[in-house]
Structures are given as C-alpha cells and as structure tokens.
Amino acid sequence: MKTFYAATWARSMRSKELALLLASFTILSVGRSQTAGNWSFTNSVAGAPGTSITVSNFTLGPSIVSGAYNGGTEYFGEGGWPSGALDPNAYMQFSLTAATGHYLVLTTINLVQRHSSTGTAAGSGPNNWSIRSSMDNYATDITSGTMTPAYVTYTVNLPAAFQAIPSTVTFRVYGYNATVTSGGINRFVYDNISVLGQAISGVLAEQSIRLTANTTSRNSIALQWQADGFTAGTDLTLQRSVNGSDFFPVHQQELAGNNAFHYEDAAAPNAATLFYRVTASEPDGTSYYSPTISVQQDVVKTKNAQIRAVITQGASIKTLLHIEETGTYQLSVWSQDGRALSRQMVQASAGDPVADISVGSYPHGIYILTLSKDGQNSARQFVY
C-alpha cells in the first residue's frame, strides 16, 4: 500500500506582467532603498516590518537543537549543523508577507553572520552557508558562501523573480560543513538581517501548477497536473527525485490549448519515498516550479524472480530461473505437508540462470520448490 502527501500549493509569477506592473521607475527606485523587514536580535527573534508588510519570527529548522541570545544583541542556533553536505532540515528561517491588495518587490538581503568563536582560533560551527527560498520550494541556492568567527555582512542580490511576489516569501539560510574545534561549540550566529524592498499597491496576475498523485493497481504512480496562466508553447516537464533535492525529467509535454495533463510512472525506482514536481519553461526563457509532492511507498517494489521449470535428473533437480535483479536467492525444497527438506543459497545475475539442487534420498513423489529474496517468493510444484 502506498500513500501520498502533497505540499501546500505555491504560485509563481510571469515576467510579462512584471514589466507592466513595475512601469513606474520612480516607485521601484524608492523600493530599493526601503527596508521591507529587519531582525536585530535584541533579546527577540521578532522582526520589524516595513509599510504594508508583516514579517515572521526568526525560527530554527527541525535539525537544530536549540537557539539562544548572546549578550542580548545576537542570536545563535546551536547543535545539529552537519559536518558534511547541506541538510535540508538544518536551517534558520524568516518570512515576509504583503498586506492584502499589495505585492512584494524585494531587491537585497543583508546578512550579518558568523560561526562560533569558541575553541581554537578557527572557531567552531558551519564553515559554509547558503540561502534558498520558497519561490522554488528551496530547491536551489540563491547564493552561498563561507564563514569565519568574525562577523561579515553578506549582501544577497535577489533575482528579478523576487520583485513580483503576490503574497508571502520565506527564506532559509542553511549552515553545513561544520567543524568543532577543541573546546568549541557548533553554533551559527546572527547579529542582524535586513531585507530591502517594499510592498506596492496592486494585484499581480498569477500562474499556478497544481500537481497530484495516486497509486494504481499496477504498482505504479499516476500523476495529474493542471497548469494555469501559461502561454501556448510552454514546455511542462515532470521531474522525479529520490531525495527531494536532485530531480531528473521523466516526461515532457508542450502546452497547446489543453492545460490538464496526466502521466503514469511505471518505471518508478525502488525507493521508500519519491518526490515529484513540474517545471514550466515559457518561450521567453522564464521558468517556474510547481510545489514538490512526496509519495510514500509502504511496500517497496522489487524486481521479479521466477522459477520457469524444474527438471529431475537422478538424485538432483535442475531449475531454470528468470532473475531481473542480481543478488543472493534462496532455493528451498518442501514436502507437501510443509516440511523444509533442503535449502541452498544461489548468487544469481540478472537473466535466465540454471541451478542444480541435490534432493538426496527422499522418496519419489510430489514436492514444492521455492525461490526467495527479501520476503518475495516464487513457487513451483514438481515430481521427483
């Protein structure tokens, strides 16, 4: 049995509407110098919003053990920062939301950050950081860099897509490649975060891709998606991932009138959880992502293994097998009343191998041969 879980739908915007809505250069220029949100961490994780904007508290991802203030002027997340590659659950997060009847125009983020100065001179904590956003479901870095025990102001210039956000955007700053020196503490420390931009009165035309998934009786995954607000000639690509980060295309279709699509993924890999999303690439070169949905496979699919024939030859039997996955299999001979008479392990390569099994001095009669691997069985009755 498989069950699926869908993420909250995200919406993406078209650059054509952006050109019209940002026609007033004066308004945009003013927006570049305004503060849309600021987190000073003076004994509080609350942010200070700009006009017609609300901001979230600064929060920690589920992998981070704890957060605290240092001297009432800085804030740190402690523990859980990975020593290796980026962990999608090891982050610090903040959000901005435009008031009703407004949209966000965001241009720059300034991050004043460091890792812990405890331990030896190099300090401790994440040596690398990256920032991602909800605009593409945290799939790609907006930018990334390195950290030291000394504060540095990192300026993140936001792409054009962030200058036409209809409602809310969430940013996550990830820390990774952490080292903890002698006497050190695994900390990621902030002094200040400021986001430059503003909320502008108006409503943006919206695009959306709604993706759903269901399982089928054929042990495959049926996917349906609807793409609204895209121009004819847009390429829609269904992508699959086994880890939620690295996606690969499995089906592509061009938008030409009909905006509803479906595809049955009969070649889904042998993984407990699969992730899917749809990307839209418009003729003008702009790209959009659907929300990512995850499909939980309670029973992981296995390759087929079958006994094609059993041939008796003296005191042994010859078995003709069909193997789709190389591995170690168990061949067992059973009596009709369920007693195991012999077992033999066979290392078989994918294909149609032949195996010989010694039956011994058991009386002639009807027996059962089974082929087993990972709880999957194939059985065949034979006369000895």
Predicted local distance difference test score (pLDDT) of residue 299 = 52
Q: How far apart are CA 350 and CA 321, in angstroms?
A: 10
Query: Between the CA atoms of 39, 42, 43 and 48, what dihedral angle is there, to the nearest 10 degrees?
Result: -40
Predicted local distance difference test score (pLDDT) of residue 145 = 96
Predicted local distance difference test score (pLDDT) of residue 26 = 32
For residue 169, give both structure tokens: 């955007």
Q: Tokens 């966000």 — which residue?
A: 104
CATH 2.60.120.260 residue ranges for the chain: 34-201
Query: What stretch of H or E contains 31?
Result: helix 25-33
Q: How far apart are CA 280 and CA 284, in angstroms?
A: 11
Q: Tokens 């956000």 — which residue?
A: 165
% of the chain exceeding 70 in pLDDT: 86
Q: How far apart are CA 344 and CA 346, in angstroms?
A: 6
> Nearest CA to 259 among 239, 240, 280, 285?
280
Predicted local distance difference test score (pLDDT) of residue 65 = 96
Q: How far apart are CA 100 and CA 53, in angstroms?
A: 9
CATH superfamily for 34-201 is Galactose-binding domain-like (2.60.120.260)
One CATH from 3.90.550.10, 2.60.40.10, 2.60.120.260, 2.60.40.3080 for 305-383: 2.60.40.3080
HSE (side-chain half, CA atoms, 13 Å) at 308: 10
Q: How far apart are CA 72 and CA 313, in angstroms?
A: 85
DSSP state of 150: S
Low-confidence residues in the chain, pLDDT < 70 = 1-33, 204-205, 217-218, 298-304, 336-338, 374-376
Phi, psi dihedrals of residue 231, rounded to the nearest 5°: -80, 155
Predicted local distance difference test score (pLDDT) of residue 172 = 97
Query: pLDDT tens, 195-237?
Result: 999 998 887 667 788 899 887 766 788 999 988 888 888 999 9
Task: Indicate the fold that domain 2-7+206-297 takes in CATH.
Answer: Immunoglobulin-like (2.60.40)
Residues 366-382, buried b or exposed e (16+ Cβ, 10 A)?
ebbbbbebeeeebebeb
Predicted local distance difference test score (pLDDT) of residue 178 = 95
Predicted local distance difference test score (pLDDT) of residue 337 = 64
Strand partners, 368: 334, 381
CATH 2.60.40.10 residue ranges for the chain: 2-7+206-297
Predicted local distance difference test score (pLDDT) of residue 9 = 32
> Nearest CA to 44 among 75, 65, 78?
75
